[in-house]
Amino acid sequence: MSILGPWLYWAIGIAIGLPAGLVLLTEGHVALARRGSSLARPVALLRNYLLPLGALSVLLAKVAGVSGQDPALRVIYTAFGFVLLVLALSVLDVTFFQSAPKDSWRGRMPTIFVDVARFLLIGVGLALTLSHVWGARIGGLFTALGVTSVVIGLMLQNSVGQIVSGLFMLFEQPFRIGDWLSTPTARGRVVEVNWRAAHIHTTDGLQIMPNSVLAGTSFTNITRSGGVHQVSITTTFGVADPPDQVCALLSRVAIALPMRTTGAAPASATLGSGQYRTTIAVDSPSDDGPAQATFLRWLWYAARREGLHLDNAADDFSTPERAAEALRTVVAPALRLTDADEQALAPHARVVRYGADEPLQQAGLVPAGITFLTHGRVRLTSEDPDLPGVTLGDGAFLGITSLTRQSSQFDAHALEEVTAVVIDREHIEDLVMAKPLLLQELGRIIDQRRSVVSADRGRFT
């Protein structure tokens, strides 16, 4: 055995250790990958590169007896040192930064700083490898790089200063991905942050704002402002419109918005000269645009139903001719009216419109009158799971419980723009009470609605 020399022990060690190490590392990598562990990548790096390079270098140097000055062996040593450095940095990143709590300084460390530090360490490691493996003198190299960096810094001091200020802002992290910012030139959600700029998604598109600009200006992080987020909407009505009536209408429309924060009541106030401001609490800044669009759309219809002058505009949609036609084609067949009954109701019938998704009726409230649908579809829903939703069409009517002074059990929302004729309770009550058969039929319909609502019988509420 002594005649063969120590190379035999190295050969046996490589023949046994390399396959065994590959098997163990493969099993470990599979187990870590199955659990979704961040250590799976370093283990894969160790299995695929470091272990084979180490075995190859030992095989050449100890078994084959290749000189350490051989270029091929030096290349292998260099690759081994580089992979070892990358592996050490990967393990450090996984154990030190990726596992850090979000609120700690390690968790707030911007990725760019980690990348720059990794790049510098790799550069230093490669320089040391060149020095020890290839015998290169790196002192002069570092001196040259230092002088070059100073010259470049003086030439680009303004640009470098902006980059550095931006990097310091990133280190402070006054915002994160997903936060909503309000700056002098943009308002939107942060979708990307890199070493040069922040990408803010606004209603006008994607705005690229340099970090140096953000670092040198004042901006508001809406997401971290605390409290309830609110959107303010300014509207204009006719100066002759009663302010209390206008404020009540604005609040009523705002309360019905689906994106409004539950439990936070909207507020409306007059600003003078026919202007009003409505403040609405919403769940997220992303609801600002939809809330404002829906509010203004519904307000257009609601103001005309109330006879108010939104944007100083008058509405002449409800004409006597339209009201008479609706009474003749829809109301008369439903309530079995005579010609005299139609003439008696004509002065009290109003033709109104509702916008898509706008509520026509709320559960738990006593309807003020009966609404007859002349065009469009309405969806009835209930909180009771035993009462499925129903879609009403032309000829159906809502608010029958107003005659009995009982609250409705259903919510009614327009599925599209709806045209209807409305008759208040006091104007239709005496007429219905004078028709015993009709009164009996309406009572039966009310009892039927309370027990079951189905698509085949869903013409009323």
In this prediction, residue 460 carries a pLDDT of 41
Written as one string, the DSSP assignment of 95-116 is IIIITS-TTSHHHHS-HHHHHH
Residue that is last in its domain, among 221, 242, 261: 221
Among the candidates 105, 128, 154, a domain finishes at: 154
Q: Where are the beta strands (DSSP E) in 115-196?
A: 180-182, 187-193
Q: Could you read off the pLDDT of 324-361 as tens digits, one per residue?
A: 999 999 988 888 888 888 888 899 999 999 999 999 99
Q: Which residue has the higher pLDDT, 382 or 271?
A: 271
Q: What are phi and psi of 102, to 5 degrees?
A: -65, -35
Mean pLDDT of the chain: 82
- Domain residues for the domain of 105 are 7-154
422 within domain boundaries: yes
Q: Is residue 163 part of a domain?
A: no
**Between 411 and 70, the higher pLDDT residue:** 411
59 and 148 co-located in one domain: yes
Tell me which DSSP letter residue 415 carries: S
Residues 16 and 148 in one domain: yes
Q: Are residues 243 and 376 in the same domain?
A: no
Q: What is the pLDDT of residues 112-171, one digit of tens each?
A: 666 667 777 777 777 777 777 777 666 666 666 666 666 665 555 555 666 666 667 766
Give the pair of three-digit tokens for residue 388: 């499925």
pLDDT, tens digit, 9 for 90 and up, residues 66-77 = 877 788 888 888
- Is residue 400 within 8 A of residue 446, CB to CB? The reply is yes
Q: How many domains does the chain have?
A: 4
Q: CATH number of the domain that 417 lies in? A: 2.60.120.10
Within 36-156, residue ranges assigned H as helices are: 40-45, 51-58, 71-93, 105-108, 111-134, 139-155
Does residue 191 lie in a domain region?
A: yes
Given a cut of 50, whether residue 461 has pLDDT beyond it is no
- Tens-place pLDDT, residues 303-323: 999 999 999 998 889 999 999
396/441 same-domain check:
yes
Residues 143 and 246 in one domain: no
Q: From 120, 111, 119, 122, select the one nearest 195 (Cα to Cα).
A: 111
What are the angstrom distances between the C-alpha of 54 and each of 12, 34, 127, 268, 385?
A: 15, 28, 20, 75, 69
Q: Are 447 and 327 within one domain?
A: yes
